[in-house]
């Protein structure tokens, strides 16, 4: 989208780019400690809910925050397409000194309600509750939905949990 920007930058949807260190979020994270610049004052982790080793990432983040006095900024969804919390996000939020929850607008017609949920669409229909939570390389689409328009076939009622 924004040509000429090296891959070792994080780029916002508006084109703002800042230097970053690319890490393998699909791997073991064993080399992550070595990749972190000890002179940095702030560490940022993008889409922490997608890391394959969330407990290890959580430990690294908390070590940087509590033991090394680093500022840590995390972007993450708080819930999956079913509306169920991502544990790493829930676990890290209790340690946060500040939380900014951002919302889109519901994608249904002229709803105009805050869209706080992700709606996964597969073959033109809402994904089933029992579908895999994370799909690598899948061709599904996501929409922003408000609570009223969020649909998850097969989702148990809150009263039956």
Interval 95-130: pLDDT, tens: 999 999 999 999 999 999 999 999 999 888 999 999
Q: Which residues contact 59 (CB under 8 A, 6 or more apart)?
A: none
Sequence-distant (≥ 6) Cβ neighbours of residue 117 within 8 angstroms: 79, 81, 83, 144, 145, 146, 147, 150
Q: Hey, what are 69's tokens?
A: 């006095």
pLDDT single digits (tens) 64-88: 999 999 999 999 999 999 999 999 9
The full 3-state SS of 20-74, as one line of letters, equals CCCCCCCCCCCCHHHHCCCCCCEEEECCHHHCCCHHHHHHHHHHHHHHCCCEEEE
Q: Of 34, 47, 53, 63, which one is the catalytic site residue?
A: 47
- Specify whether 34 is catalytic: no
Q: By CB neighbour count within 10 A (0-12 exposed, 13-18 middle, 19+ buried), where does 119 fall? A: buried
């Amino acid at each position: 989208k924004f040509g000429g920007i090296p891959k070792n930058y994080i780029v916002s949807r508006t084109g703002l780019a800042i230097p970053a260190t690319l890490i393998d979020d699909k791997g073991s994270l064993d080399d992550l400690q070595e990749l972190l610049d000890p002179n940095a004052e702030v560490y940022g982790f993008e889409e922490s809910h997608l890391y394959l080793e969330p407990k290890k990432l959580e430990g690294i983040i908390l070590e940087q925050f509590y033991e090394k006095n680093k500022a840590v900024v995390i972007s993450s969804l708080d819930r999956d397409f079913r509306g169920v919390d991502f544990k790493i996000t829930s676990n890290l939020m209790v340690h946060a000194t500040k939380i900014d929850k951002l919302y889109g607008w519901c994608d249904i017609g002229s709803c105009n309600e805050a869209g706080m949920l992700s709606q996964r669409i597969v073959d033109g229909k809402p994904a089933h509750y029992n579908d895999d939570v994370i799909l690598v390389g899948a061709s599904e689409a996501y929409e922003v939905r408000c609570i009223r328009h969020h649909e998850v076939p097969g989702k148990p009622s809150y009263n039956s949990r």
